Amino acid sequence: MDSVRIADIGGYEGQEVRIEGWLYNKRSSGKIHFLIVRDGSGFLQTVAVRGELAADQFDLCGGLTQESSIVVTGRVRADERAMGGFELTLTGIELVQLAKEYPITLKEHGVDFLLDHRHLWIRSPRQHAALLIRDEVIAAAEEWLRTNGFIKLDSPILTPAACEGTTTLFETDYFGEKAYLSQSGQLYVEAGCMAFGKVYCFGPTFRAEKSKTRRHLIEFWMIEPEMAYATQDDNMVVQEQFVSHIVKRCLENRHDELVLLGRDLSKLEAVTAPFPRVSYDEAVEMLHAGGREFEWGDDFGAPDEAVICSRFDKPVFITGYPTKVKAFYMQPEPDRPEVVKCADLLAPEGYGEIIGGSERIHDLDLLEQRMREHDLPRAGYEWYLDLRRYGSVPHSGFGLGIERTVAWISGSEHVREMIPFPRLLNRIYP
RNA sequence: UCCUCGAUAGCUCAGCGGUAGAGCAACCGGCUGUUAACCGGUGGGUCGCAGGUUCGAAUCCUGCUCGGGGAGCCA
């Protein structure tokens, strides 16, 4: 008999199949048991009827506990009364392990309790759906990049110095020398694009900031494309193609999961290139027109971003930030050096920044000057300066935060549920 | 680091000066179509920790610990 995954059950109507899974829930009515089985690919209602199943097996069903591992066989039947449209009439059941009292019930639980049991929580339907959407986002992102000529060139996680020098880094010991967990692979993909033209890195990123909001993780995943001979205008065109492809793929391949999470699909269907572009100057005017106090030259706070992106139904680029609030490597506008060639991409519906990108400085003298202004130790950056000594060209790139993107696409309110095992302020378990 | 809210049964919570409660989970029983199934019964507590006020504190006050939400910083 074929072992079948629940996701494929529709193709086996009328046949007897075998499913290897776990008991998600049980409803019992004396002479009939409804066992809801999950197998990782989906959920399926199975029906055990007294008289149609061997007596010892029927009794076994009555004693099953939540999350017990079971192998069931039965006949596939279309039935409108079952979630998913198909049901299995049991002809046999084998108990693999009788689960002890399962801590996560079908009732409500608090966040702290659920995070303490994250290793079990990921079995729950909503968490399962969110992590499937995460997988789709990653697959779609890499698919788009590879079909558009990018190669994956991983950057190191153990690094000798700060990439941007601003945020707090996790320090570790490297055989007697100080080393830091990477907070960005960007500097390394800049080297990569001079070797391969178009590259990206994808990996975990570490920020030792004491951030405690629904938008922050201590360890999060970032995908960072970098392109040689690309201007900031080219960069934004790539980003809007890239992001709209990711959204489209999720709508195509994870429709059921989006619906399960209650996502308004029309909001996602509206996400098509091109995306609106608003200059920093215009954004400041928007804030003033809305009655907010804001001084030109400051960076936007989360409430400011919310005001701006609430005016659009697509992601919106905010371009041309003041030089002094951005990273040292960003290329200034030639006729307006107080502003840099950069853009943040703000997701709609208040989800905030999902991409930060810019054109990088390619002139050696200017880059050296910026590093002095930012008090960066020259020695650790000699290799980076070499990129401006040997065939320097204009180049641009960006970083997309995976968990924030997944939170936006799935309509979830917190990034901590968008990664299998979140690292949060004061949480490194499990 | 700052602002704010919270901590009572395994879980989610009510009780807010006078004998510790409910729903769910567990256990026992009932039920042939359940959808967080339902009905009856049983067991289950150092009310976060330490002081203080009071005849009497889960309840009021102070400090501490842990957690939620937000700010800053960022993706």
Give the nucleotide with minimal C1' distance to the Cα of A211: B73
Measured CA to C1', what is the nucleotide nearest A63? B27
Domain check: are A269 and A134 in the same one? yes
In three-state secondary structure terms, A374 is coil
Residue A44 inside a domain? The answer is yes
Residues A83 and A160 in one domain: no
pLDDT tens column, A146-188: 999 999 999 999 988 655 554 578 888 889 888 889 989 999 9
Identify the helix (H) or strand (E) that includes residue A93: strand A86-97
Domain boundary among A97, A131, A150: A97
Token code pair at residue A52 = 């149609």
* Nearest nucleotide from residue A34 CA, by C1' atom: B34
Q: Are residues A147 and A291 in the same domain?
A: yes
With respect to residue A106, please indicate whether it lies within any of the assigned structural domains: no
- Domain that includes residue A253, residue range: 118-417
Residue nearest the C1' of B11 (CA based): A109
**Helix, strand, coil content of chain A in percent (nearest 5):** 35, 30, 35
Residue A1 lies in a domain: no
Those residues whose C-beta lies under 8 Å from the C-beta of residue A279, and which sit 6 or more positions away, are A318, A319, A320
pLDDT at A249: 98
**Of A34, A68, A97, which residue is a domain's last?**
A97
Nucleotide nearest to A106 (CA to C1'): B36
Q: What single-letter DSSP state applies at residue A351?
A: T
Please identify, among A66, A97, A128, the residue that sits at the C-terminal boundary of a domain.
Answer: A97
Closest CA to A223 of A246, A252, A191: A246
The confidence score (pLDDT) of residue A307 equals 86
Nucleotides in chain B near protein beta carbons (<7 Å): 1-2, 10-13, 23-27, 30-38, 66-75
Which CATH number belongs to the domain containing residue A81 in this structure?
2.40.50.140
A78 and A138 both lie in a single domain: no
Within a domain: A103: no
Residue indicated by tokens 């050296």: A368
Residue A310 lies in a domain: yes
Any domain includes A392: yes
Q: Are residues A70 and A133 in the same domain?
A: no
CATH of the domain at A127: 3.30.930.10
Distance A407 CA to B15 C1' (A): 38
| Residues of chain A above pLDDT 70, percent | 98
**SS3 for A134?**
helix
User: Encoding tokens for residue A181?
Assistant: 């967990």
Q: How many percent of chain A have pLDDT more than 90?
A: 64
Identify the H or E element spanning A92: strand A86-97
Q: Based on the domain organization, do A86 and A156 belong to the same domain?
A: no
Nearest CA to A239 out of A223, A261, A220 is that of: A223
- pLDDT tens figures, A235-287: 999 999 999 999 999 999 999 999 989 899 999 999 998 999 999 999 999 88
When divided into structural domains, chain A yields a total of 2
